[in-house]
Structure 1
Amino acid sequence: MSPTATSFDLFGTLVDVPRPADTAAAVGRELRERGVAVPDDWAEAYREPHVDAPAGAEVPLPAHVTAALASRGVDAPGNAARRAVVAAFDPEVTTREGAPEAVRAAADRGPVGLLSNCAVPELVGRTLVRSGLARDDFDAVVSSVACGWCKPDARAFEALAGRLDAPVGSLTHVGDTPEADGGVADAGGTFVDVGTTPLPTLAARWAVDP
């Protein structure tokens, strides 16, 4: 049997990471900590689109924050916007039941990748460090902020498949969001929904039938 390439979504699939209850407020607080004069209508500015990106493209959150500030005549010096965003999303990580076992079982079948929609720089890496997983568990780690494309866009899956040196049509992608992770099927691959096939079940299945 030829090797099977497998990829996993990160947030909501392998780990749980709570988002800030109010992302605009969290980012605004971190901006103020870095000496940025946050405008009075920051919540409104944060909600507005400011970067004209093509369909399927990821807009890095620091770029959005910088543009939102600029729309109100505020400059964020240096890399203040990036540092504020990274701090606002500093993760508390819970590794989901069966995640390490599922990744190991997938590795017995062939190359394993991680493909995450994430607009926050460094968040994927920090999350892995604080989880029961490691970068070395994956042959490739691709985030939308790094590759420029978001699931369900086929280019996101193609970027991961290219890193795994595998045809995108051979990819089995495990995720929790059919609207995003299910896009692998449109690219010719196979989608496994952890909502209907939990990770422990998947790991047991692959251990028996690699």
Structure 2
Amino acid sequence: MSVSFDLFGTLVDADIPDDPATAVAEELRARDVSVPSDFGAAYREVHIDAPEGAEVPLPAHVAAALSSRGVDAPNNAARGAVVAAFDPTVTRRAGALEAIEAAAERGPIGLCSNCSVPELVGRTLIRADLRGRFDTVVTSVSCGWRKPDVRAFEAVADGLGADVDFLAHVGDDPETDGGIEAAGGRFLDVSEVPLSTLEDRLDPGESGP
């Protein structure tokens, strides 16, 4: 069988900014970008018409928000500001490594994370000492689709050389991670199946809390 894991809230805890607009604005100013007074409002507006389920990279959104107020962000300033604003302290959750190792004993394992910030997942894996643990790493910013869109799960299944119907996905959010069920796979909710007991639930046919 193949198993994929969500990252944030499932395998790690990370101190993501409570007010991302303010954090990004501070980093834009540090890069000599003239931040408009209503940047917070601009940040919350939709500026890029993307298909349903598609991911909009946060740097593209920030650049579009600035442009809507007549401000240019030269020299990749939007990307640099976003990457710097989302630079968290990371804590690996109890039982995470053991759950990954148990899944790896049964077949290929992947990571499937909703993340619109470039580089964030890679840095998080390094800081949690989880880099190199997965056979494939799929982020919404890299594949273009956000969970619960089935195309996000298909991307991780493809990376594992597996059929999505035989993919079990471990996550903490029934609204997003639970989308694996619409794709034909199994959802293992860490609020019902703690990482410490995941090994007992990985065999096909196991169900219930």
TM-based fold match above 0.5: yes
C-alpha distance in 2 between matches for 1:101 and 1:52: 41
Equivalent of residue 99 in structure 2, options 102, 127, 130: 102
Shift of 1:185: 0.4
- Deviation readout 1:5-25 (Å, 9 max, x if unpaired): 000000000000122121100
C-alpha distance in 1 between matches for 2:41 and 2:106: 48
Q: Does 1:111 align with 2:108?
A: yes
**Helix, strand or coil for the counterpart of 1:137?**
coil
Aligned CA-pair RMSD: 1.5
Q: Extract structure 1 runs of 4+ deviating beyond 3 A.
A: 203-207
Q: Does 1:179 align with 2:175?
A: yes
C-alpha distance in 2 between matches for 1:40 and 1:5: 49
> Could you tell me which amino acid in structure 2 is paired with residue 101 of structure 1?
E
Alignment of 1:42-53 (within 5 A): 42-53=39-50
- Deviation readout 1:70-117 (Å, 9 max, x if unpaired): 000000001110010000000110100000000000000000000000
* Residue of structure 2 in register with 1:14 after alignment: 11
Give the conservation status (yes or no) of the 8 Å contact 1:15–1:94.
Answer: yes
Q: Give me the TM-score of the superposition, normalised by structure 2.
A: 0.95
**Helix, strand or coil for the counterpart of 1:191?**
strand
* Residue of structure 2 in register with 1:201 after alignment: 197
* Residue of structure 2 in register with 1:90 after alignment: 87
Q: Does 1:152 align with 2:148?
A: yes
- Deviation readout 1:136-195 (Å, 9 max, x if unpaired): 210000000000000000000001100100000000000000000000000000000000
Shift of 1:206: 5.0
Shift of 1:133: 1.2
C-alpha distance in 1 between matches for 2:201 and 2:158: 26
Q: Does 1:162 align with 2:150?
A: no
- Deviation readout 1:12-66 (Å, 9 max, x if unpaired): 0000012212110000000000010000111111111100000000000000000
C-alpha distance in 1 between matches for 2:163 and 2:202: 21
Identify unmatched segments of 5+ residues in structure 1: none
Aligned residues: 205
* Residue of structure 1 in register with 2:188 after alignment: 192
C-alpha distance in 2 between matches for 1:171 and 1:79: 38
Shift of 1:205: 5.1
> Could you tell me which amino acid in structure 1 is paired with residue 184 of structure 2?
G
